[in-house]
Structure 1
Amino acid sequence: MDFLLSILPILLVLVLLVFMKKTADFAGLVGWLATAIIAIFYFHTSFDVVLKSSIMEFLAALPVSLVVVTSILQLNVMESAGAMKRIIVFIKGLAKDDRVFQALILNVGFGTFLAATGAIPVTVLPPILIGLGYSTFAAIALSAVGFDALCTYALLGTPLVVFSQIANVDLITAARYFLPFVGVVSFTISLAMLFIIGNSRFVKRGFIPAIIVGLTSYAAAELAILVKAPVITGIFAGILIMVVMMLVLKLMGKKVYDSSHFTDEDRQIEKSMGILKAVSPWILLVLFILVTNLITPIREFLYTGFSMPVEVMKGPKIKPIFTRVLWQSYTWILISTIISMFIFKMDKKALKNAWDKTKSRIPKTFWSSTVFFLMAYVMMYSGYQKTAAGYDLLNRAHNIVYVLAEYSAKGFKGAYAFIAPYLGILGGFITGTETSTVAMFAKYTIETSKLLGLSPLLMVAAVAFGGGLASGISPSKLQNAAAAIDAIGEESKVLRTTLVISLIMAFIAGIISFLLRGYVI
């Protein structure tokens, strides 16, 4: 009964999403309420603990939820100003004559950069790919799959930040546990993308470029750790992949950029705005993030000196939530967006259009980004009691996370190291994001790993990578990609292909996880 009730909220969310076709925000709400009820009435948790753990969760989720909101605002501002149209036209000219390099530049390189800066590849890339002559199937699949390998570094490293908070380790240490997966998964994802475009023929042609992508991704991750800024790994990787692929093209004697095929409309858009002006919000954002992460005194002040801790529950095993408002990505996304409004010289009509679009999308998006953290934190603090020393877990059998870990350890034993990425895929499918997957399953994975004598942080990294790989099968992301090119309904066909790809990628990640199961830094 303990195990059944512990896993019931997760199963409930899965049923609501898959079989009843409910939205993620509604399913998450039901899951949170079910977790709270089970925690109170079965696991001896007071309403006070459920309420306070939910408040802690809300604060812990802000780096995710506010990044999503500010990113949506930035994208809408760029669309209203005409900047996105200009960017799309520019991209149409990249590697026009070589589909292999074009796909790697756009979907792995540019897709990773977009995800890292907070933009949404599944809404930006499909129209570009259609404009380049790709099928609707390929446009949806490639935009969802391309940046999967580096999802950990999406939204300016938000999944990594959440991982470090829950695991209680610094960002550099957390990043090192992701390194073993980065290069290999980037290489195999590249091959999977090429297979989607042109089956085995493209795989053969792109085998060497895919190896280069894998090596470049790994080098970017190492570089970010070297300069002590792992949260900008995605930016480094995206830019490096694009630059390296272009250099290789140049060395092969092929055109990197060709605008000869542009339509009259493309020409007009090209003349309307310079490309540097169009990407100015991203340039500003990257500059701000580099300054706040690479200049040591500034980083130390914003991250440590101005950490702004909030204590909701005090206890010997409970740490405060460090809000770090001036260091968080959402602050700099918002500032770069406001400055870009003046650069674009937007009038009241354009500003109103951007705000109206943002306002209509904020509530559900904000809640969807928050609700799965609610479930996670109620699970984490279920069974906690108020003592003289503060809130503490007096009986582990009253904690949902520990119950799940104990039964998992007994059931999976040594095989847990291999199935960890598949757990991540389940989490990513349920929650829609790698960050929420980390929030939901990190503590459970740590406890399970301890019971089995595995490396807890490596196992969480394996789960996180699985959550990233789930981008290719996330219903919400596939639907967004289909909606961006008016191809609703096509996503179900894409899912059948991307599901196989995601499972194969998880298999490869599982082998890495199993081989390095005792890896400790």
Structure 2
Amino acid sequence: MDFLLAIFPILLVLILLIFAKKTADIAGLVGWLATGLIAILYFKTSFDVVLKSSIMGFLAALPVSLVVVTSILQLNVMESAGAMKRIIVFIKGLSKDDKVYQALILNVGFGTFLAATGAIPVTVLPPILIGLGYSTFAAIALSAVGFDALCTYALLGTPLVVFSQIANVDLITAAKYFLPFVGVVSFTISLAMLFIIGNSEFIKRGFVPAIIVGLTSYAAAELAILVKAPVITGIFAGILIMLVMMAMLKLLGRRVYDSSHFTDEDRKIEKTMGIIKATSPWILLVVFILITNLITPIREFLYNKLSMPVEVMKGPKIKPIFTRVIWQSYTWILLSTVISFFIFKIDGKKLRSVWEKTKSRIPKPFWSSTVFFLMAYVMMYSGYQKTANGYELLQRAHNIVYVLAEYSAKVFKHGYAFIAPYLGILGGFITGTETSTIAMFAKYTIETSNLLGLSPLLMVAAVAFGGGLASGISPSKLQNAAAAIDAIGEESKVLRTTIVISLVMAFITGIISFIMKHYVI
């Protein structure tokens, strides 16, 4: 009974998503309320603890939810200024004559860069791919699958930040546990993309470039750790992959850029502004992030001195939530967006239009990004009671996470190391993001790993990678990609292909996880 009630909220969310066709924000709300009720009625948790743990979850979610808000604002500004159209026209000219390199440059390189800066690949890439002559099926599938291997470094490393906070380790240590997966998964994702475009023929042609993509991704992750800035791994990886693929095209004697096929409308858009001006919000953002992460005194001051801890519940084993408002990526996304008002000369009328559009777009994504943290934190602190020393867990059997972990340890034993990525896929499918997957399953995975004598942090990394691989099957992301090219309905066909890809990728990740199950730095 303990296990069934502990897992019930997760199953309920899954049922609401798959069978009741509810959106993630509604399903998450029901799941959070169900978790709170079960914690109070069965796991002997006071309303006070449920309320305070929910507040902690809300605060912990801010690095994700506010990035979503500020990213939507930035994208709306760029759309209003015509910058996105200019960027799309520019990208149309990249590697026009070689689909293999074009796919790797756009979907792995540029897709990773977009995700790392807070933009949304499933919204930006589909129109570009359609403009380049790809089918609607390929445009939706490639934009959802391409950057999966590097999802951990999306939104300026937000998943990594959440991972380090829940696991209570520094960012460098956290990043090192993701390294074993980066290169191999990037290579296999590249092959999967090429299969979507042209089956076995494209896999043969792109096998060597895919290896290079895997090595480049790994090198970028190592470089980011070396310079002590793992949160910008995605930026490094995206830029390096694009540059390396372009260099390989040059070596093969092919054109990297060709505008000869542009339409009259494309040429008209091309004259509206330079590509530097069009991408200026992203350029500014990258500069700000590099300054705040690569210059040690600034990084130390913003990350440690201005950590801005908030204590909602005090207890011997309860850490405060470190908000780090000035260091967080949403602050710099907002600042780069505000500066772009002047660069694009946004007038009052356009500004009002941008605000109205942003105001209508942000509520659901904001709540979807938040609610699963609330659910996860109620699970984490269920059973805690107020004592003379603060809030403590006096009986582990009253904690939902421990109950799930104990049952999993008995059932899966060391096989848990192999199934961890599949747990991540489940989490990614339910929540829609790798970050929310980490929030929901990190503590449970750590407890299970400790009971089994496995490497807790490597197991969480495996779960996180599974959450990233779920991008290709996330209903919300596939729907966003389809909506961007007016192809609603096509996502169901895409899902039948991407679910196989995601499960195969999880299998490969599971093998790595199982081989390295005792790996400790």
Provide the TM-score with structure 1 as the length reference: 1.00
Q: Secondary structure at the match of 2:325?
A: coil
Q: Secondary structure at the match of 2:386?
A: strand
What is the total number of aligned residue pairs between the two structures?
521
Q: Using the TM superposition, give the Cα deviation of residue 298 of structure 1 relative to its aligned residue in structure 2, in angstroms.
A: 0.3
Identity of matched residues, % = 88
- Counterpart of 1:41, as a letter, is L
Aligned partner of 2:340 in structure 1 is 340
Tell me, in whole angstroms, the C-alpha distance in 2 between the residues paired with 1:357 and 1:454: 48
Q: Using the TM superposition, give the Cα deviation of residue 356 of structure 1 relative to its aligned residue in structure 2, in angstroms.
A: 1.3
1:113-512 pair list within 5 angstroms: 113-512=113-512
Q: Using the TM superposition, give the Cα deviation of residue 487 of structure 1 relative to its aligned residue in structure 2, in angstroms.
A: 0.3
Tell me, in whole angstroms, the C-alpha distance in 2 between the residues paired with 1:437 and 1:384: 23
Tell me, in whole angstroms, the C-alpha distance in 1 between the residues paired with 2:202 and 2:67: 37
Tell me, in whole angstroms, the C-alpha distance in 2 between the residues paired with 1:277 and 1:356: 24
Q: Secondary structure at the match of 1:206?
A: helix
1:50-89 pair list within 5 angstroms: 50-89=50-89
Q: Secondary structure at the match of 1:272?
A: coil
Tell me, in whole angstroms, the C-alpha distance in 1 between the residues paired with 2:442 and 2:389: 26
Q: Secondary structure at the match of 2:271?
A: helix
Aligned partner of 2:32 in structure 1 is 32
Q: Using the TM superposition, give the Cα deviation of residue 352 of structure 1 relative to its aligned residue in structure 2, in angstroms.
A: 1.7
* TM-superposition CA deviations, 1:159-197 (whole Å, max 9, x none): 000000000000000000000000000000000000000
Tell me, in whole angstroms, the C-alpha distance in 2 between the residues paired with 1:490 and 1:386: 52
Q: Using the TM superposition, give the Cα deviation of residue 354 of structure 1 relative to its aligned residue in structure 2, in angstroms.
A: 1.4
Tell me, in whole angstroms, the C-alpha distance in 1 between the residues paired with 2:368 and 2:471: 15
* TM-superposition CA deviations, 1:86-130 (whole Å, max 9, x none): 000000000000000000000000000000000000000000000
Q: Using the TM superposition, give the Cα deviation of residue 349 of structure 1 relative to its aligned residue in structure 2, in angstroms.
A: 2.0
Q: Using the TM superposition, give the Cα deviation of residue 231 of structure 1 relative to its aligned residue in structure 2, in angstroms.
A: 0.3
Let me know the Cα RMSD of the aligned residues. 0.4
Tell me, in whole angstroms, the C-alpha distance in 2 between the residues paired with 1:130 and 1:355: 29
Provide the TM-score with structure 2 as the length reference: 1.00
Aligned partner of 2:21 in structure 1 is 21
Tell me, in whole angstroms, the C-alpha distance in 2 between the residues paired with 1:138 and 1:83: 25
- Counterpart of 2:263, as a letter, is T
Q: Using the TM superposition, give the Cα deviation of residue 348 of structure 1 relative to its aligned residue in structure 2, in angstroms.
A: 1.7
Tell me, in whole angstroms, the C-alpha distance in 2 between the residues paired with 1:474 and 1:265: 34
Q: Using the TM superposition, give the Cα deviation of residue 357 of structure 1 relative to its aligned residue in structure 2, in angstroms.
A: 1.2
Tell me, in whole angstroms, the C-alpha distance in 2 between the residues paired with 1:440 and 1:323: 19
Tell me, in whole angstroms, the C-alpha distance in 2 between the residues paired with 1:354 and 1:508: 43
Tell me, in whole angstroms, the C-alpha distance in 2 between the residues paired with 1:355 and 1:286: 24
- Counterpart of 2:336, as a letter, is S
- Counterpart of 1:23, as a letter, is T
Q: Using the TM superposition, give the Cα deviation of residue 434 of structure 1 relative to its aligned residue in structure 2, in angstroms.
A: 0.2
Q: Secondary structure at the match of 1:72?
A: helix
Q: Using the TM superposition, give the Cα deviation of residue 5 of structure 1 relative to its aligned residue in structure 2, in angstroms.
A: 0.1
Q: Secondary structure at the match of 1:94?
A: coil
Tell me, in whole angstroms, the C-alpha distance in 2 between the residues paired with 1:353 and 1:402: 49
Tell me, in whole angstroms, the C-alpha distance in 2 between the residues paired with 1:229 and 1:414: 33
* TM-superposition CA deviations, 1:114-153 (whole Å, max 9, x none): 0000000000000000000000000000000000000000
Q: Using the TM superposition, give the Cα deviation of residue 361 of structure 1 relative to its aligned residue in structure 2, in angstroms.
A: 1.0
Structure 1: gaps spanning 5 or more residues: none
Aligned partner of 1:103 in structure 2 is 103
Tell me, in whole angstroms, the C-alpha distance in 1 between the residues paired with 2:240 and 2:75: 23
Q: Secondary structure at the match of 1:386?
A: strand
Q: Using the TM superposition, give the Cα deviation of residue 355 of structure 1 relative to its aligned residue in structure 2, in angstroms.
A: 1.2
Tell me, in whole angstroms, the C-alpha distance in 2 between the residues paired with 1:443 and 1:9: 16
* TM-superposition CA deviations, 1:27-53 (whole Å, max 9, x none): 000000000000001000000000000
* TM-superposition CA deviations, 1:346-379 (whole Å, max 9, x none): 1122212211111001111110000000000000
Tell me, in whole angstroms, the C-alpha distance in 2 between the residues paired with 1:352 and 1:189: 41
Tell me, in whole angstroms, the C-alpha distance in 2 between the residues paired with 1:136 and 1:364: 26
Q: Secondary structure at the match of 1:50?
A: helix
Between 354-363 and 123-132, report the one with greater CA deviation.
Answer: 354-363
Tell me, in whole angstroms, the C-alpha distance in 1 between the residues paired with 2:55 and 2:438: 18
Tell me, in whole angstroms, the C-alpha distance in 2 between the residues paired with 1:24 and 1:322: 27
- Counterpart of 1:250, as a letter, is K
Tell me, in whole angstroms, the C-alpha distance in 2 between the residues paired with 1:353 and 1:505: 42
Tell me, in whole angstroms, the C-alpha distance in 2 between the residues paired with 1:499 and 1:354: 36
Q: Using the TM superposition, give the Cα deviation of residue 154 of structure 1 relative to its aligned residue in structure 2, in angstroms.
A: 0.3
Q: Secondary structure at the match of 1:318?
A: coil
Tell me, in whole angstroms, the C-alpha distance in 2 between the residues paired with 1:462 and 1:157: 16
Tell me, in whole angstroms, the C-alpha distance in 2 between the residues paired with 1:295 and 1:264: 46
Tell me, in whole angstroms, the C-alpha distance in 2 between the residues paired with 1:507 and 1:310: 40
